[in-house]
Structure 1
């Protein structure tokens, strides 16, 4: 099981590299690979053997049993209630909207109810697409505590009319640092951009020892959040060179298990310590990225549908395909902690080095990668890059 989670994190890196290469366009980026993977699991569960044979290798899983084990671990983490205190919260919700002209197969409906605790709603896609859009957006806003107010745009009415199903997954995380950053210590310093220019942004700091490890060409910082029965942490991967982010991403992607093998285990004294505050959102069509990565079977519009195990209408099932997987994520990092959220919605249409005696510095004053990870399971909940903290 641990190996399967590790391989899932390799998929995360592969997905991040493709998102950065194809749709990030040199901007700040945040997305939830777990949210996208859960949707792929939902799609795989409603697919025939042909589609599963495409999705399982993509997720680096040898069988449906491994898929179910990874899914069970993911759901156990996301559905755990944590402690009653409000300073650590992570939740996931699943929503399904189905056109009133079709119905689910009992086996698929049972999966949605019992494994995902999904909210299922019948709606009039053909004649009331505006109501469908409003309902999905209201659901997303509620599930992300207002962080994401809209996942379907008002001009998507025509796409809704042509759809039969909408599968959605929303994730929300809010965690307080185990060691706070005092706001009165926050000061403005320069952040160096990839184009050679710089901007002044507020940096946080504290005087605590840090979970920090230095490697050849880069550093890794672990910032733990307050712990309940789960342990969440933010990891920052900072290249030594100010323009070293592309090379670091290449290195991370070239070595299997990289993220799991580069985890700071011990606190060490740090000399200069500064991290920029940042807040931004990012939205993209994950279907476009997945197709570019070679996963084509769920999106096939010709040669017969592979999504035959979802709906209880053989003639309709033969014409189903995924048109889009809309993914939107948002993150805010400040002195108190982190608030992050993500929503994925798919529309289905017819048709290692040791420390020296010196104290190291950790000054994140140039582009870096970050993840938010649940350390006990190894699940990576959010991943992204900060290229310019002044952009919101």
Structure 2
């Protein structure tokens, strides 16, 4: 993967030592009820360039693994960066086999604290103020549950987050609504009801959330007057008419023959040039073979082949929504112990604390909307930690994009993969 970096800085915000209503972050203060502030701690060293590169590549590989686990669905929209953040918040609390399985699934070999710091540092803001890109993380704790101060200090340093306290035990529905409402607010109203009824209950001890929101216009918008209705070739052989956008421009383009299947790819930059959407389009009839062979190195090969080319392009407008319970998919990637009574998340709480924390649910909702103007996308990711283990999850040139394709949205400076998915039916 070719990486450009400008101004990546480590997350270094620390919370004041107190229990009260004032949250101090980034030099500002807000009055917010139910905020537990962490004790001050020595700041973590900023991540090195090598740590940033390794973490960006790990996020990409993790995202591709997760995509392949879900790719048999019709349309898929994921946020690898969002889910990596949620699990990256949990990773420093894990020990032994629990940590090894999580780290393996996340494709990282860095120490848990360095991985967390690198994830936070990869969140560089786009240089162009016309692009909105926001990522917010929150830890919700059961009132009175003794979360370790060193763990909270690391989350503050890496992710600039404090802890909100609530009473899952006495008011699980009210607590779930509060968690969901904050994610909805952080995603511009696009992600609603991240946690479904029952996913946060009276036994919940902690809930970790990540909210990612993107609104970006194309560097060269499509002209609405040029959009036409055109056949799209679904996997089942049907060919509905969809609204197709057209453009003739100099774009980064490539074509290849494998592995898996022949493909074409094009990159559509957003204003400012820091972010882009890439479309990878296997030949008609070869989509299954291509997605079956897709890996992180294959994706790097595709992206590395892109070169400036004059191209006549047609792309369908599309709007996707996904709602994923990821327990089974993560189990398929080897994350099993965290969901069991053998879970070791003792980095969360002092030794001997009862009840013992166990991972109970990992969820993500994502929305991606693409039209002539640009892209609006949002994702909410969440992990619930409870007192009772759940049952082990089951493992479960010329380019007309008129057939199923893979899409990704990435930060061209760091390589961080923000969104990844597939469109097999633009009409949803």
Q: TM-score, normalised by structure 2?
A: 0.81
Shift in Å, 1:70: 4.5
**CA–CA distance in 1 between the matches of 2:350 and 2:373?**
49
- Residue 247 of structure 2 aligns to a residue in which SS? coil
Matched, 1:6 2:48: no
Q: What's the counterpart of residue 184 of structure 1?
A: 225
Shift in Å, 1:266: 2.6
- Residue 36 of structure 1 aligns to a residue in which SS? helix
Contact residue 30 and residue 329 of structure 1 kept, 8 A: yes
Q: What's the counterpart of residue 138 of structure 1?
A: 181
Higher relative contact order (CA 8 A, sep 6+): 1
Question: Could you tell me which of 353, 364, 371 is aligned with 1:334?
Answer: 371
Q: What's the counterpart of residue 354 of structure 1?
A: none
How many positions carry a matched residue from both structures?
Answer: 364
Q: What's the counterpart of residue 356 of structure 1?
A: none
Matched, 1:33 2:33: no
Q: What's the counterpart of residue 316 of structure 1?
A: 354
Shift in Å, 1:151: 0.8
**CA–CA distance in 2 between the matches of 1:226 and 1:75?**
24
Question: Could you tell me which of 53, 78, 92 is aligned with 2:100?
Answer: 53
Distance 1:237 1:81, change over 3 A: closer
Q: What's the counterpart of residue 74 of structure 1?
A: 119
- Residue 216 of structure 2 aligns to a residue in which SS? strand
Q: TM-score, normalised by structure 1?
A: 0.88
Q: What's the counterpart of residue 66 of structure 2?
A: 15
Shift in Å, 1:213: 0.6
Shift in Å, 1:206: 1.7
Question: Could you tell me which of 166, 184, 202 is aligned with 2:243?
Answer: 202
Question: Could you tell me which of 232, 248, 264 is aligned with 2:290?
Answer: 248
Matched, 1:120 2:163: yes
**CA–CA distance in 1 between the matches of 2:120 and 2:144?**
30
**CA–CA distance in 2 between the matches of 1:258 and 1:376?**
20
Q: What's the counterpart of residue 100 of structure 1?
A: 143
- Residue 408 of structure 2 aligns to a residue in which SS? strand
Contact residue 93 and residue 346 of structure 2 kept, 8 A: yes
- 1:327-366 to 2 correspondence within 5 Å? 327-351=364-388, 360-366=397-403
Please tell me the root mean square deviation across aligned C-alpha atoms, in Å: 1.9
**CA–CA distance in 2 between the matches of 1:5 and 1:96?**
23
Structure 2 residues without counterparts, runs of 5 or longer: 1-49, 389-396
**CA–CA distance in 1 between the matches of 2:127 and 2:275?**
13
* 1:27-67 C-alpha deviation (Å, 9 max, x unpaired): 21101011111122111111123322222222232341xx5
Matched, 1:175 2:220: no
Pick the structure with more helix per residue: 1
* 1:123-170 C-alpha deviation (Å, 9 max, x unpaired): 1111111221221111011110111122123x337x421211111111
**CA–CA distance in 2 between the matches of 1:190 and 1:227?**
33
**CA–CA distance in 2 between the matches of 1:81 and 1:61?**
24
Matched, 1:147 2:190: yes
Shift in Å, 1:77: 3.2
Structure 1 residues without counterparts, runs of 5 or longer: 352-359
Q: What's the counterpart of residue 62 of structure 1?
A: 109
